Every structure is written in structure tokens, then in C-alpha cells.
Amino acid sequence: MKLLFPFHASAIAPWRQHRYLSFLFGISQLRPEEKGKSSSSHQMTRRTFHNSPRSFFANDINQGIVPSPDGNAYLDIFRQAERPEFFQSVARSVQLRQDYLRNGCIFIRGGELIPILKGIGASEEDLERLKTISQILDPDPTVNFRTLSTGRFSVNTRAGMIERLQKQKFILTTADNYKRHDSDICRDFGELGEIHQNNTVIQAMLVFKAWVTQGVPVPARPGLNYDKDTVLTQVFNVHTFTDKDIQGYPALEGVHQDGCDHTMTVLLGSSNITPESGVTFVHDKEEQTGIQPHEANLGLLKGRYQHRDFLDTLLFKDNSVKHSVTPVYAQNKSDPAFRDMFVILSRKPRTEMHKSGQPDCFIPHEKFRKKFLIWVPPIQGSHTSCQLEAQE
């Protein structure tokens, strides 16, 4: 992979960073002799660059997090670009993208991901809030062992914007390699509220995932429009529990796909679970859909991963493989056991030709209004929103 800049940003001398920012982001330092300011003012101005809309987020900046017109917080990616930690996050994300291009699957320990997210702009306070955020979720309409809420976002790196979208019922079909009692059924999940969408860690996760997956070739899914710049990203907060006569299953459907291009799973926390709980197996695409993990062919097993610590993260190309997850088993049978996750699914928009018969709606959310800027590192192919793998 060819980089458009020949060095890691974190290696730039401080006195050169403004000049480098001008190249990357279109941010230029005002010259005192041009603007009549003293040489100590160090004022900055912003100008539009090729993948950014006009910056209307310029006021009331405070450590990279600014209030939107409705008073809520969101990341200001340009403000982050004035911090050395931002460059370190860019450099490490570029390295992870190389691994993802090579392998189609990466596992990132939470201890490594947290500094990346903080460099993008996630706050310590919001990191702490994530540890208890799964206590306020909605009942699942089709199973009794989990609660969950979800939110839909459009991610358009060419336009430089992430925006919260109107609610739409969720459906996975048997054609998506999802075989369960609720296949081909529209499910009406509860929505993520302000406490989720205003959390800067979740916003930073959306930016990070876009950085790593942007322009990565994927196998085409029938009924998706790969000519569109926009990516539909759906965030699920899932609380899976085992208690008394209720057995919790992170993936009751067994071996399956998620009907998307890129799946990212993130651990928020767990309690009273055995070492065998919540193990994710990545299978060859030829594995039989719908069988349980213990029934799978070991010859078709491509990887075994287990989220153990806060923000441990697995990212894989969903239509290149299949996956399964072991149940949540209670260590102490007399006490409840649980596992809390974010599942972040990204794909191109569905058309009327999709087997679900449900094209994607891209109307901005009326109640939970949220939009913020995104920028993608200038890597070859990174501003191409999606490339397709060659079909054999």
C-alpha cells in the first residue's frame, strides 16, 4: 500500500506540525505580516479541502469537543488535528488498515484501542460511562435472553460527514446467511438515545472504523449499491444474560453472516462468565450456515478470538467469512451472568432488488439529531468508499 505521505505524522517536529496540517487538512497558520497580528498570536484559520464540507463547527471549541446547535457534544476532527496524540492515532490506524487489507480480519486489544480513540477525541469520562451504558437497553422482541438498542448512521467520507438517521426496522434474510426463527422478519428494536449518540467514544469508534475499512475491497452482496459514496452503519448495544432457567446466546443462530460488508464487535464488560463463554469462531465461507460452533468442521476454521477486557475489538469482512459465538455460561450457577457488547455493522445501501424488499432510508433523524465531521487519512484508495474483490 502506497502512502501519500512518506513518514508517520507522530514523527513530525512540533515546529513543522502547522505546515504539515496545512498539507493534510487545509489548515493554515495566519502570517502576522499578512494579518497585522503579533507574532505570538498563533491564530489558525480553516479552509475547505477536497473531502470536507464547509466547517460550521468552528465556535466554542474546547479540547476538541464542541456543542452542536442543540447543545449536545460531538467530535471536532479538525481541533483534534492540533494534538500530537491525533497523529499517533492516524499512524496506528494506517498500520491496522494494512493488516486488515492483508488478512481481512484483525483483533485489537482494548489496551491498544483506547489510546487510538482518545487521540481521535474520546474523553475519559465517556470511557467510564460505557462500562454501565448497557443497563438502559430495550427488550429484544424475538428472544428472552438479551436486551438491546440500536441506531443508524450514514458515513460519507467523501462529503466528510457522519449523520444519525431515522429509525428503520431491522431485517436479516436467509439469503444473508442468517438462519434462525426470526429470519426474513422485520424486527422493531428500541433506539439508542442521547446518552449513546453524544458519547465521544462511540463517535470515535465510528471514525476509527471508517479509517480502517475505507477503500478495503470486499465481495459484493446482491442487492447492495456499491456505486454510492454513503455507507450505512448500524450500532447495536447488546446485553446478553444467563439467569436461572434462561440461557444466554450471543449468536443463537450458530454459524452465520451479518448481511453487511464489515462487522466490528467490541466488549464493554462481562460478569460471572466461564472461560468458555463468548468465544468467537471465524469460519471459511464454505461452512454450513445454522450449525452450532461445536458442530463446525475444524478444517474450515480460520480463527478463534475471545473478548476478555474492556474494548477488546474484532473486525472482519463479513461476506468473506462466516462466524459463530459460544453461549454465555454462568461461573456461579446461583448468580446471573452477562456479556455487554457493541456490534457495529457497515455496508453499502440496500436497493429495491435486495431479498429483504426493504431499501435503506437515509432521512435524518427528527428527534435524535446528530452530525459531525469525519476525515480520512490520505492513503491510496482511501477516498474510494468501497472496492469490490475480483470474482472468480
Please give the pLDDT value at position 388. Answer: 63
pTM comes to: 0.82
Helix (H, G, I), strand (E, B) or coil at 179: coil
Of 368, 304, 314, 316, residue with least CA distance to 341:
314
Per-residue pLDDT of the chain (392 residues; tens, 9 = 90+): 444 333 344 444 443 444 444 444 444 333 334 344 433 333 333 333 334 333 333 333 334 444 444 445 567 777 887 889 999 999 999 999 999 999 999 999 999 999 999 999 999 999 999 999 999 999 999 999 999 999 999 999 888 899 999 999 999 999 999 999 999 999 999 999 999 999 999 999 999 999 999 999 999 999 999 999 999 999 999 999 999 999 999 999 999 999 999 999 999 999 999 999 999 999 999 999 999 999 999 999 999 999 999 999 999 999 999 999 999 999 999 999 999 999 999 999 999 888 888 899 999 999 988 888 888 887 655 444 556 665 54
Please give the pLDDT value at position 72. Answer: 52
Q: What is the pLDDT of residues 120-142, one digit of tens each?
A: 999 999 999 999 999 999 999 99
Q: Which residues of 304-320 are buried (b: 16+ CB within 10 A; e: fewer)?
A: ebbbeebbbbbbbbbbb
Q: How far apart are CA 115 and CA 98, in angstroms?
A: 19
Q: What angle do CA 266, 306, 142 make, to 5 degrees?
A: 60
Give CB contacts under 8 A, 24+ apart, made by 272-275: 272/330, 272/331, 272/332, 272/335, 272/336, 272/337, 272/338, 273/328, 273/329, 273/330, 273/331, 273/337, 273/338, 273/339, 274/329, 274/330, 274/331
Q: What is the pLDDT of residues 289-317, one digit of tens each?
A: 999 999 999 999 999 999 999 999 999 99
Which domains, ranges and CATH numbers included, belong to the chain?
A: 91-388 (2.60.120.620)
Q: How far apart are CA 152 and CA 70, in angstroms?
A: 19
Please give the pLDDT value at position 39. Answer: 38
Q: How far apart are CA 250 and CA 57, in angstroms?
A: 39
Query: Going by DSSP bridges, is the β-strand pair 146-156/190-191 parallel, antiparallel, or unpaired?
Result: parallel
What is residue 33's DSSP assignment? Answer: H
Q: How far apart are CA 267 and CA 311, in angstroms?
A: 5
